[in-house]
């Protein structure tokens, strides 16, 4: 919902135009002119008798006028009354009452006269009266004794004051008495009761009269009203009279309406034009009558008709003669109606049609003064000249009176005078002054020169040319300095000299010249007109719905003329924003934080400039969860139902969609509220079903789109009578927990379902399909019963019936249960295995007899495990696998078998108790399959025409290897492949020398293994024959080796070639056609750790160098280890290992202490002696000056080695020392791999020398290093 509002400049222009018309008739004050009354007191002037009386009379003229007064038609000599003074340069009288004067002494009719040499102006007749607030006359008020249902009028009769007082009724506590259609105050101040009720009894009905002029309140003595009800009245009469005398105390009877005011069937009313017409009808009756108004022969005037005092008063504002007529009020109740007709006549005091206006003439000119008025009856017109009736005024030959017009011909300067027109009838009079001023003046322009006018485009432009001259000058307008006279429909020329451009455009901007001329001269004036772009709101605030405590923003983005400075003001409900820090006014928005209910309303953005104003409004609706319902009432109480009604709370601007009714059982579950029902949001009553023996209390929750209200206050409690149960326990089951029992369970009844005290359960059972009687027990406060001594797993019929002190529930339904299960007795027989292929087998078995299952058959389990691989004789841990086949299935598939392997299996039946005995183990074998790829392929010893190939057998042969197949082909410089050559190699071979190859040629090799089933996946590699026998200068990477773990692998290689090569490692799944994955090696290291590998998977790997013609090593194949169970233990976490390391550390510490002591004594210690005895020529001696150990030094690369290292100085490692030595994976490396395969230690190529302190090595210490240092 959005409102747009624009404050137009047209109304402002119209007001300006009217002001200019008036001001154009004004004579400049520097010229001679007769007096003009500018200010005077009202005709009916009521004054406060406690304050000074000020009677105003102000006038202007040239020369300045003098003032005189008349009182009650005779001259009032103010000099003779010390209490009366006249203000300087003014005719205003001040009568000093506060210094002992009496206001009543100055009561009368006053008239002021302002006079100078050119005439005299007079004021209205000012009737001065002091206000009066008399006290109430003392009267003895008798108590009012009224029968219930009768009408009553309490009379106020306030004292007559001036002006009349305002009447209202209150009690002794100054609280206004409540009024309604039944009780209301009339226009005369009386209090009317259409019918009285017992609650009207009170002793403090007090009428108050407030006199506003004196700010006083007078009060009438309290009035007592005693209402007798029919019951109490009959009791009183019966106590005092015999039965035969009781005849007046009839019960309250309904009565048709009777008018209390006005009386009779017709009345008349006279009102004056322009006043407010008030018509009143108040009726008695029981039930209370309803009032309706009509106008006979017409309609009540729209927009001016209002109903007050519960439609008992008809109010028509600003009445006119057209409102005369007959108005009928109709009072109606269920028994009938009554009406009254008021004949309204609208009279009129005189009102102006044409009031006389000042007349400025030059000598010899003609003119007229016109005085026209209307009224009812029609007013008479009389003329005065300078305050004297014109009939006895001095003669003027240029003047002629013709009724309501005075005609002037060939006036002369002596014709100047002030004329008064008096229009009067019986309801009042009008008096107007108008002067005739005879002057001879050249033109003058009163508008300032070069005045700047700024207007908004497409709005009217009004350019002033206020002038004066006598004779009246003619006005002409020009645009520009040498422009032509302006004419045409584009312009409007006003009599006061104003030029109007109705729709100003940009091309209307510029200089305009106004020229005024008469026979005595000519004058001109220039004004400037600028046209501005209108101010617009281009992004208006929009209707918003926000939840309570949320945040909302209204936008107000404007566009305006660059020369105008706009101001943006925000209003809420057409008033200023609340003084609250939650309201944040930004440059082009209003943000309200933490919105509350009081923020609901209309927000208006008003943009003001000096020339225009625009606005836009939007409504903010604050929504919230509804307020809780209230006033809960229980009616229609029955044994099994009750009616609940309530009143909804405030919906908080989001309609209530439903009501949720909850109940509390104070007897069984006090404080616990449960769901009863839900009804639509339009419903405020509900009939609720009840259960016996429940102490109910209800509450209601209202729901709207925002959420649920707080619960209402609880209703009164209602206790229903007891009865036998209506329902039996639910979810009855019979399931044995042991082979010889039956456990009967059920869901117990809730407290409110018990229907009475003494809730118990009758539990019954009997064996099914056996001619047995029911066995029953009665239990209480339990939800299960165990029957012992039953046969194993036999069916039983079970039922549970509720009962209480008043009887049984209906007969329950029976359920089938079983006694307890036992383990199956028989294993499945005739187990057969059919091998489908090398990885899949199908197993069959015969079902066991159902009686032997001794329980619910759940299915069969097949246990199978690999005994050994037929291609290898190595044994490993047996891991049994289990497949479960649900239901009475007699076959199943065994997937994921390994080819060429021996397996065993057995089958067991399963019931709810567990597994039965296993069938005899069944042995079966899987046939051969294709092998995996060879574990590696190395190409070494390149010559001019030969290459040596070495390979490893497949990790998973999956059968008996029959042969290897080698395929190779040359690759030219454009990477095109040559003819493919294939060689079959016996299975027992592990190397091959290929001869008769082309020199300096790159070859690509494909290598795989075969079984009798077929060929396995292949491994590829590339190699190049040399150009001649000289040691090649090109770089090469050889001896790629891998050490694989479960999820990572350590890759190392040897490199020959230029320094600072940037290596990378490529790898992928062996036999896969997917692209190689590439990992960059940091620095020039010759090792790398591949992480994130899949356990039990064969990978291919190769190493390359960036920027060296893209050469790569030969491929290597490795397989990650199988996934190990969580029972594998890290040695580093074992207690024995930790204890061993602690012992070693303690021994080292003792040895250090001993060495330190012996050194201080100057002697040699055994370690030193041993080192001296086995001196290595490359070992530098210990420095004597600082006691630090020396370092091994390499003249080429300064690679440090610890003292005690077993690595020879030429950095070579013997093969027999350790096949897994890290030296094989890279040069100059001392370290180890941690648990995840990451490398620990220092790479010599990155070594930076650091000063050593004490006995510390330049490397990070480790237990191995520590022990080596002291060997």
Q: Above 80 in pLDDT, residue 981?
A: yes
Give the span between the Cα atoms of 698 and 716, in whole angstroms.
Answer: 8
Over residues 773-801, mean pLDDT? 94
Give me the half-sphere count of Cα atoms (radius 13 Å) on the Cβ side of residue 923: 4
The predicted pLDDT at position 1020 comes to 93
Give the span between the Cα atoms of 1084 and 1106, in whole angstroms.
Answer: 11
Mean pLDDT is lowest, of 531-535, 990-994, 1044-1048, for 1044-1048
DSSP three-state, residue 593: coil
In tens, the pLDDT along 35-46 reads: 999 999 999 999
In tens, the pLDDT along 292-321 reads: 999 999 999 999 999 999 999 999 999 999
Buried b (16+ CB within 10 A) or exposed e, 732-749: bebbbebbebbbbbbebb
In tens, the pLDDT along 930-947 reads: 999 999 999 988 888 899
Give the span between the Cα atoms of 864 and 857, in whole angstroms.
Answer: 21
Mean pLDDT is lowest, of 207-216, 245-254, 477-486, 614-623, for 245-254
Q: Above 50 in pLDDT, residue 1195?
A: no
In tens, the pLDDT along 180-220 reads: 999 999 999 999 999 999 999 999 999 999 988 878 888 89
Distances (CA, A) of 1116 to 433, 1003, 1016, 1025, 1102: 126, 16, 16, 19, 6
Helices (H) then strands (E): counts for the chain: 6, 95
Look at 1114 and 1109; give whichever has higher pLDDT. 1114
The predicted pLDDT at position 237 comes to 54
How much is the pTM?
A: 0.51
Query: How many Å from the N-terminal Cα to the C-terminal Cα in the chain?
Result: 94
The predicted pLDDT at position 871 comes to 76
Record the tokens describing residue 83, joined without a space: 């209490």
Give a three-class secondary structure readout of 955-1010.
CCCCCCCCEEEEEEEEECCCCCECCCEEEEEECCCCEEEECCCCCCCEEEEEEEEE
Burial classification of residue 115, based on how many CB atoms lie within 10 Å of its CB (0-12 exposed, 13-18 middle, 19 or more buried): buried
Give the span between the Cα atoms of 961 and 951, in whole angstroms.
Answer: 14
In tens, the pLDDT along 50-66 reads: 899 999 999 999 999 99
Record the tokens describing residue 950, joined without a space: 């070495």
Sheet holding 685-689: strands in order across?
630-635, 641-647, 685-689
Split at pLDDT 50, 70, 90, the class of 1100 is confident
In tens, the pLDDT along 444-473 reads: 999 999 999 999 999 999 999 999 999 999
Q: Backbone phi, then psi, for 598, in 5-degree steps?
A: -70, -10
The predicted pLDDT at position 436 comes to 95
Give the span between the Cα atoms of 32 and 117, in whole angstroms.
Answer: 9
Split at pLDDT 50, 70, 90, the class of 1161 is low
Split at pLDDT 50, 70, 90, the class of 1158 is confident
Say if CB 829 and CB 772 are below 8 A apart: no
Over residues 1157-1170, mean pLDDT? 53
Positive/negative CA dihedral, 1267, 1204, 1220, 1196: positive
In tens, the pLDDT along 333-373 reads: 999 999 999 999 999 999 999 999 999 999 999 999 999 99
Give the span between the Cα atoms of 50 and 36, in whole angstroms.
Answer: 32
Residues 6+ apart with CB under 8 A from 907: 827, 828, 831, 843, 845, 860, 861, 862, 863, 918, 919
Look at 584 and 1132; give whichever has higher pLDDT. 584
Give the span between the Cα atoms of 75 and 87, in whole angstroms.
Answer: 18
Say if CB 648 and CB 703 are below 8 A apart: no
Over residues 1204-1210, mean pLDDT? 36
Q: What is the DSSP string of 921-959?
A: PEEEE--------EEEEEEE---SS-EEEEEEEES---S
The predicted pLDDT at position 1041 comes to 85
Q: Above 70 in pLDDT, residue 74?
A: yes
Say if CB 1085 and CB 1245 are below 8 A apart: yes
Question: CA triplet 511, 512, 513: central angle to 5 degrees?
Answer: 125
Record the tokens describing residue 818, joined without a space: 């079983």
Q: Above 60 in pLDDT, residue 323?
A: yes
User: How does the average pLDDT of the chain come out, rounded?
Assistant: 84
In tens, the pLDDT along 1235-1249 reads: 333 333 333 333 333
Share of the chain above pLDDT 90, in %: 65
The predicted pLDDT at position 290 comes to 95
In tens, the pLDDT along 223-267 reads: 999 999 866 655 555 555 544 443 444 567 889 999 999 999 999
Q: Residue 499, Cβ neighbours under 10 Å: how many?
A: 22
Q: Above 80 in pLDDT, residue 568?
A: yes
Whether omega for the bond prior to residue 947 falls within 30 degrees of 0, making it cis, is no
Q: Above 70 in pLDDT, residue 1114?
A: no
Over residues 412-426, mean pLDDT? 94
Give the span between the Cα atoms of 968 and 1022, in whole angstroms.
Answer: 9
Q: Above 90 in pLDDT, residue 498?
A: yes
Distances (CA, A) of 119 to 403, 433, 472: 22, 11, 22
Q: What is the total residue count of the chain?
A: 1271
Look at 1265 and 594; give whichever has higher pLDDT. 594
Mean pLDDT is lowest, of 28-32, 733-737, 909-913, for 28-32
The predicted pLDDT at position 1105 comes to 79
Residues 6+ apart with CB under 8 A from 1138: 1132
Question: CA triplet 1241, 1244, 1247: central angle to 5 degrees?
Answer: 95
The residue behind tokens 């648990």 is 1235
Q: Above 90 in pLDDT, residue 1138?
A: no
Positive/negative CA dihedral, 866, 867, 870, 874: positive
Say if CB 117 and CB 384 are below 8 A apart: no
Identify which of 1114, 1080, 882 has the alpha carbon closest to the alpha carbon of residue 1007.
Answer: 1114
The predicted pLDDT at position 234 comes to 59
Q: Above 70 in pLDDT, residue 112?
A: yes
Positive/negative CA dihedral, 1028, 1034, 1039, 1044: negative
Give the span between the Cα atoms of 994 and 987, in whole angstroms.
Answer: 17
Residues 6+ apart with CB under 8 A from 626: 648, 649, 650, 651, 652, 654, 656, 702, 703, 704, 709
Record the tokens describing residue 1100, joined without a space: 């291919």
CA dihedral 1086, 1091, 1097, 1099 (to 10 degrees): -30
Give the span between the Cα atoms of 187 and 818, in whole angstroms.
Answer: 93
Give the span between the Cα atoms of 537 and 1092, in whole angstroms.
Answer: 63
Identify which of 1, 7, 2 has the alpha carbon closest to the alpha carbon of residue 615.
Answer: 7
Q: Above 50 in pLDDT, residue 664?
A: yes
Q: Backbone phi, then psi, for 703, in 5-degree steps?
A: -125, 130
Say if CB 432 and CB 350 are below 8 A apart: no
Over residues 316-330, mean pLDDT? 95
The predicted pLDDT at position 1136 comes to 73
Residues 6+ apart with CB under 8 A from 12: none
Over residues 732-740, mean pLDDT? 93
Give the span between the Cα atoms of 503 and 1124, in whole angstroms.
Answer: 94
The predicted pLDDT at position 334 comes to 92
């Amino acid at each position: 919902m959005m409102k747009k509002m624009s404050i137009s400049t047209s109304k402002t222009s119209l007001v300006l135009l009217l002001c200019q018309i008036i001001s154009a008739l004004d004579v400049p004050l520097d010229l001679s002119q007769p007096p003009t009354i500018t200010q005077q007191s009202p005709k009916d002037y009521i004054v406060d008798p406690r304050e000074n009386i000020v009677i105003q009379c102000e006038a202007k003229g040239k020369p300045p006028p003098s003032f005189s007064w008349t009182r009650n038609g005779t001259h009032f000599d103010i000099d003779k009354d010390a209490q009366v003074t006249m203000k300087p340069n003014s005719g205003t009288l001040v009568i000093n009452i506060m210094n002992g004067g009496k206001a009543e002494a100055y009561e009368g009719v006053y008239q002021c006269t302002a006079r100078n040499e050119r005439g005299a102006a007079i004021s209205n007749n000012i009737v001065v009266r002091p206000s009066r607030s008399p006290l109430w006359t003392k009267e003895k008020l008798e108590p009012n004794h009224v029968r219930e249902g009768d009408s009553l009028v309490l009379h106020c009769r306030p004292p007559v004051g001036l002006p009349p007082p305002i009447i209202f009724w209150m009690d002794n506590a100054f609280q206004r008495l409540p009024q309604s259609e039944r009780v209301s105050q009339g226009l005369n101040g009386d209090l009317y009761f259409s019918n009285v009720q017992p609650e009207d009894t009170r002793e403090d009905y007090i009428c108050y009269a407030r006199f506003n002029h004196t700010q006083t309140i007078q009060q009438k003595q309290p009035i007592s009203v005693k209402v007798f009800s029919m019951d109490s009245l009959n009791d009183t009469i019966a106590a005092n009279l015999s039965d035969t005398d009781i005849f007046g105390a009839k019960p309250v009877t309904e009565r048709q309406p009777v008018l209390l005011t006005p009386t009779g069937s017709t009345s008349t009313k006279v009102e004056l034009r322009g006043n407010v017409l008030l018509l009143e009808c108040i009726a008695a009756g029981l039930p209370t009558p309803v009032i309706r108004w009509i106008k006979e022969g017409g309609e009540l005037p729209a927009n001016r008709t209002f109903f007050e005092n519960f439609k008992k008063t008809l109010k028509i504002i600003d009445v006119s003669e057209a409102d005369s007529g007959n108005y009928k009020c109709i009072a109606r109740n269920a028994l009938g109606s009554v009406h009254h007709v008021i004949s309204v006549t609208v009279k009129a005091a005189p009102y102006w049609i044409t009031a006389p206006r000042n007349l400025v003439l030059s000598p010899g000119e003609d003119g007229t003064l016109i005085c026209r008025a209307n009224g009812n009856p029609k007013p008479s017109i009389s003329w005065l000249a300078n305050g004297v009736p014109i009939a006895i005024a001095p003669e003027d030959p240029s003047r002629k009176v013709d009724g309501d017009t005075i005609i002037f011909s060939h006036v002369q300067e002596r014709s100047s005078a002030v004329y008064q027109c008096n229009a009067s009838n019986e309801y009042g009079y009008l008096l107007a002054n108008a002067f005739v001023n005879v002057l001879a003046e050249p033109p003058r322009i009163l508008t300032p020169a070069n005045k700047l006018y700024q207007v908004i485009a497409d709005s009217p432009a009004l350019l002033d040319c206020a002038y004066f001259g006598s004779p009246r000058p003619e006005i002409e307008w020009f645009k520009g300095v040498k422009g032509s006279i302006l004419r045409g429909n584009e312009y409007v020329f006003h009599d006061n000299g104003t030029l109007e451009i109705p729709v100003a455009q940009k091309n209307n901007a510029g200089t305009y010249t106004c020229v005024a001329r008469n026979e005595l001269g000519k004058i001109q004036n220039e004004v400037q007109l600028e046209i501005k772009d209108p101010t617009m709101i281009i992004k208006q605030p929009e209707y918003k719905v926000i939840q309570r405590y949320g945040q909302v923003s209204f936008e107000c983005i404007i566009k305006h003329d660059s020369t105008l400075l706009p101001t943006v003001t925000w209003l809420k409900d057409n008033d200023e924003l609340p003084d609250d820090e939650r309201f944040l006014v930004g440059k082009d928005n209003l943000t309200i934080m933490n919105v509350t209910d009081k923020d609901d309303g209309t927000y208006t953005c008003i943009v003001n400039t000096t020339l225009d104003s625009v606005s836009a409004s939007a409504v903010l609706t604050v929504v919230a969860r509804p307020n809780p319902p209230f006033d809960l009432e229980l009616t229609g109480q029955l044994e099994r139902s009750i009616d609940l009604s309530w009143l909804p709370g405030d919906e908080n601007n989001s309609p209530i969609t439903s009501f949720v009714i909850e109940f509390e059982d104070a007897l069984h579950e006090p404080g616990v509220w449960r769901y009863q029902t839900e009804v639509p949001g339009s419903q405020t009553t509900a009939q609720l079903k009840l259960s016996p023996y429940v102490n109910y209390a209800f509450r209601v929750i209202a729901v709207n789109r925002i959420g649920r209200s707080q619960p209402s206050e609880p209703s009164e409690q209602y206790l229903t009578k007891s009865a036998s149960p209506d329902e039996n326990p639910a979810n009855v089951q019979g399931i044995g927990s042991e082979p010889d029992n039956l456990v009967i369970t059920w869901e117990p009844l809730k407290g409110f379902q018990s229907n009475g005290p003494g809730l118990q359960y009758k539990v019954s059972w009997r064996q099914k399909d056996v001619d047995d009687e029911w066995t029953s027990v009665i239990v209480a406060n339990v939800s299960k019963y165990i029957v012992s001594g039953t046969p194993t797993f036999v069916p039983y019929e079970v039922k549970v019936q509720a009962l209480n002190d008043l009887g049984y529930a209906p007969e329950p339904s029976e359920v089938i249960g079983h006694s307890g299960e036992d383990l199956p007795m028989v294993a499945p027989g005739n187990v057969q295995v059919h091998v489908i292929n090398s990885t899949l087998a199908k197993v069959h078995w015969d079902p066991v007899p159902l009686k032997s299952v001794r329980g619910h058959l759940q299915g069969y389990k097949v246990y199978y495990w690999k005994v050994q691989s037929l291609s290898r004789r190595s044994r490993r841990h047996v891991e049994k696998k289990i497949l479960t086949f649900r239901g009475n299935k007699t076959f199943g598939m065994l997937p994921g078998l390994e080819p060429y392997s021996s397996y065993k299996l057995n089958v067991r039946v399963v019931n709810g108790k567990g597994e039965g005995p296993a069938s005899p183990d069944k042995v079966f074998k899987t046939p051969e399959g294709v092998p995996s790829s060879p574990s590696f392929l190395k190409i070494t010893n390149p010559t001019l025409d030969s290459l040596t190939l070495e390979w490893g057998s497949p990790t998973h042969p999956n059968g008996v290897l029959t042969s290897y197949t080698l395929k190779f082909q040359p690759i030219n410089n454009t990477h095109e492949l040559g003819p493919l050559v294939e060689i079959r190699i016996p299975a027992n071979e592990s190397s091959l020398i290929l001869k008769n190859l082309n020199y300096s040629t790159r070859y690509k090799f494909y290598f795989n293994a075969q079984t009798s089933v077929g060929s396995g996946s292949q491994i590829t590699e590339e190699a190049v024959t040399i150009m001649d026998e000289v040691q090649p200068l090109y770089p090469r990477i050889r001896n790629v080796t891998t050490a694989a773990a479960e999820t990572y692998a350590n890759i190392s290689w040897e490199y020959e070639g230029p320094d600072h090569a940037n290596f990378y490692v490529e790898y992928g799944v062996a036999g896969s056609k997917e692209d190689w994955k590439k990992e960059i090696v940091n620095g020039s290291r010759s090792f790398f750790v591949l992480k994130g590998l899949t356990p039990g998977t064969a990978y291919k790997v190769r190493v390359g160098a960036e920027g060296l013609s893209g050469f790569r090593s030969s491929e290597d194949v490795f397989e990650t280890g199988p996934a190990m169970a969580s029972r594998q233990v890290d040695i580093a976490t074992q207690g024995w290992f930790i204890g061993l390391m602690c012992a070693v550390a303690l021994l080292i510490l003792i040895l250090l202490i001993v060495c330190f002591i012996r050194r201080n004594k100057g002697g040699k210690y055994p370690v030193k002696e041993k080192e001296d005895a086995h001196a290595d020529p490359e070992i530098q001696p210990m420095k004597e000056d600082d006691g630090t150990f020396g370092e091994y030094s390499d003249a080429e690369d300064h690679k440090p080695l610890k003292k005690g290292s077993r690595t020879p100085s030429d950095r070579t490692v013997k093969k027999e020392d350790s096949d897994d030595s890290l030296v094989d994976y890279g040069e100059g490396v001392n370290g180890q791999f941690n648990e995840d395969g990451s490398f620990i230690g220092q790479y010599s190529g990155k070594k930076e020398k650091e000063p050593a302190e004490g006995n510390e090595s330049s490397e990070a210490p480790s237990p191995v290093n520590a022990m080596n240092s002291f060997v």
